A and B are shown apart, each in its own frame.
Chain A
Amino acid sequence: MIEVQSVSKYYGSVQALNDLQFQIEEGSCFGLVGPNGAGKSTFMKILVGVLQRFEGDIQVFNKSVKQNQLAVKNFIGYVPQDICLEELLTAKDNLMYFGRLYGLSGEHLRKRIRTVLEQIGLSDKANQKITEFSGGMKRRLNIGCAILHEPSLIVLDEPTVGIDPQSRHAIFTLIQQLKEMGSTVIYSSHYMEEVEQICNSVGFIDKGKLVEHGTMKHVLNKHRSASIFVSADGIGKEELSSYGDTIEKKTGFAVNCDDPLLTMGKMIEQFRQNGINPERLELSQSRLEDIFFYLTGTQLRDNG
């Protein structure tokens, strides 16, 4: 189990993390969700031992990251947000490099390199230099370098930023495999649909504070409400607010209400009277992204 115990972090006078406290079950896939600058990367850097000055502690499988940092690092595989590969070397050389940093050597290392290259779908590119790789291939190799030493905990910081659908699919498949093999996964993203798809527990982080956490089912059941999605010319947030909490979306408005069918009937009546022809009027269930917005008032992405 990973136990986060009152973790706070300041950069000068700016508080990046504010008293984070939560637990992650062994073998689970935990999604850490928040907008850019929320504190996700700071938390991950503390967990993997890159940032060493912070308040509180984290117990990783009963070992403190403060007291037993080297031991903890041995069973963590960290996939940073940036691609950290030596561009002038081949894929195989990069894996060899990271494998040695984790203490692997000889036949065991060579065997692990073959296995990992297969897992990330780059067996046929083993001897190609990184400069010849696409962004998605680099991302996959970035993950490969972190799983060579068969870590019990894999920490992925925004691993799918800027990649093609094929590589995204390959990464999801790989994470699924890691989960099936019993690894604990911490997955940070601001792509909520990814987190909903692959994680079984979730934590919302905003402005350095954990605003909600728990199993995916628990969080969805606790906050999910029915809503009506409306998209129509001549209708604004003000007009819809009388029916319930109204959230502006990219192409329309989501109106949360207790009795959506009855409310929808009233809306149709009003639209008819005012001669409004809605482009879309439909019932919808709030998704993780809506719940995050409801709890924090913060959009995860700039484009909503």
Chain B
Amino acid sequence: MWAITIVELKMKLQDKGIWFWTFILPIIFIIGFITIFSGVNEMEPEQLVTQIVPGYIIMFTFFIMISMVITFIKDRDSGMVARVASTPLPLNRFLIGKWLPFLIIVILQIVVLLLFGVLVYDLPLGDPIALTIISLTLAFLSTSWGMAMSLLVNTENMGIALTQVIALGGAMLGGLWMPLEIMPNSMQLIAKFLPQYWALEGFQSILQDGGHVTDIWLTLLILLGFGMVGCVISFFSYPRFLRQSRS
């Protein structure tokens, strides 16, 4: 399992694209939107920062799904998946080995973007334990969905298109781009079925209201539930994915 994780991490370090999607683009978005809204909005600066920084962190964690889809489809089409399946490595270790590097990258992404928020915009961090737990839960959620997507889709293009629907559609409907209060009631209702909404609720509770783990337990439970759905889909999709592998 660690062999897969190490090799995957080594290759990801050489992939410039992933650095752009993971760190540079979110920072550009955060700077851009804070600049735009700080001029025209009536929101308090702290309220603006605690809306935009976690909002874009959540949105961009879902973009890891693109890298996961590309990696898994490449391995499937090159025959590497079948080759690894011929080794004594059990299925669950293969999936965990493949998943861990992306989990690490997303955790790193959240840490870097939060630090950026603190250093540049005085973002309040709140309870470090609660913040760590919700960050790990968010990383688990986005990467487990990435894994499910990677094993389900037939082509890379389909995976990239669906990821954009999930990341951008979820961001828009989940209230990551603008506060839900200014949206119609029907939209506010739809948002409650999306993990992005719950993730933002959790982050804002910690960063804005000084909440602790006991205050966000329902949020954590819902996010874990969404994440588990991704894991279950991955587990049951793997045999079909393996059959599609070359060699």
B-binding residues in A (CB < 8 A) = 41, 45, 48-52, 70-71, 73-74, 76, 78, 80-84, 86, 88-89, 93, 96-98, 100-103, 157
Q: Is the CB of A50 within 8 A of B88?
A: no
Known A-B contacts A50-B242, A93-B10; the reply to A82 vs B86 at CB < 8 A is no
Question: Chain B's nearest CB lies how many Å from the CB of A161?
Answer: 12
How many A-B residue contacts, CB cutoff 8 Å?
A: 70
Nearest chain A residue, comparing its CB with the CB of B12? A88
Question: Chain A's nearest CB lies how many Å from the CB of B192?
Answer: 41
Q: Is the CB of A52 within 8 A of B11?
A: no
Q: Is the CB of B247 within 8 A of A49?
A: no
Which of B3, B79, B239, B245 contacts A101 (CB under 8 A)? Answer: B3
Question: Chain B's nearest CB lies how many Å from the CB of A7?
Answer: 17
Question: Chain A's nearest CB lies how many Å from the CB of B32?
Answer: 33
Which of B2, B82, B86, B242 contacts A76 (CB under 8 A)? Answer: B86
Alpha-carbon distance between A96 and B2 when the two chains are bound, in angstroms: 12
Known A-B contacts A89-B7, A89-B11, A101-B3; the reply to A82 vs B79 at CB < 8 A is yes
Q: Is the CB of B11 within 8 A of A86?
A: yes
Known A-B contacts A86-B11, A89-B10; the reply to A80 vs B88 at CB < 8 A is no
Nearest chain B residue, comparing its CB with the CB of A101? B87
A-binding residues in B (CB < 8 A) = 2-4, 7, 10-11, 14, 78-80, 82-90, 239, 242-243, 245-247
Measured between beta carbons, the chain A residues less than 8 angstroms from B88 are 70-71, 73-74, 101-103
Alpha-carbon distance between A41 and B11 when the two chains are bound, in angstroms: 30
Measured between beta carbons, the chain B residues less than 8 angstroms from A86 are 7, 11, 80
Q: Is the CB of A88 within 8 A of B14?
A: yes
Alpha-carbon distance between A102 and B1 when the two chains are bound, in angstroms: 10
What are 16 A-to-B residue pairs whose CB atoms are below 8 Å? Answer: A48-B86, A50-B82, A50-B242, A50-B245, A50-B247, A70-B90, A73-B87, A74-B88, A84-B78, A84-B79, A86-B11, A86-B80, A101-B3, A102-B87, A103-B88, A157-B247
Known A-B contacts A73-B86, A76-B86, A82-B247; the reply to A93 vs B7 at CB < 8 A is yes
Q: Is the CB of B239 within 8 A of A80?
A: no
Known A-B contacts A80-B79, A82-B246; the reply to A50 vs B86 at CB < 8 A is yes
Alpha-carbon distance between A222 and B85 when the two chains are bound, in angstroms: 39
Known: A83-B79, A89-B10. 13 other contacts (CB 8 A): A49-B85, A50-B85, A50-B247, A70-B88, A73-B87, A76-B86, A80-B82, A80-B247, A82-B246, A86-B11, A96-B3, A100-B3, A102-B88
Measured between beta carbons, the chain A residues less than 8 angstroms from B90 are 70
Alpha-carbon distance between A209 and B78 when the two chains are bound, in angstroms: 28
Alpha-carbon distance between A74 and B89 when the two chains are bound, in angstroms: 9
Alpha-carbon distance between A52 and B88 when the two chains are bound, in angstroms: 14
Q: Is the CB of B84 within 8 A of A101?
A: yes
Question: Chain B's nearest CB lies how many Å from the CB of A45?
Answer: 7
Alpha-carbon distance between A78 and B87 when the two chains are bound, in angstroms: 8
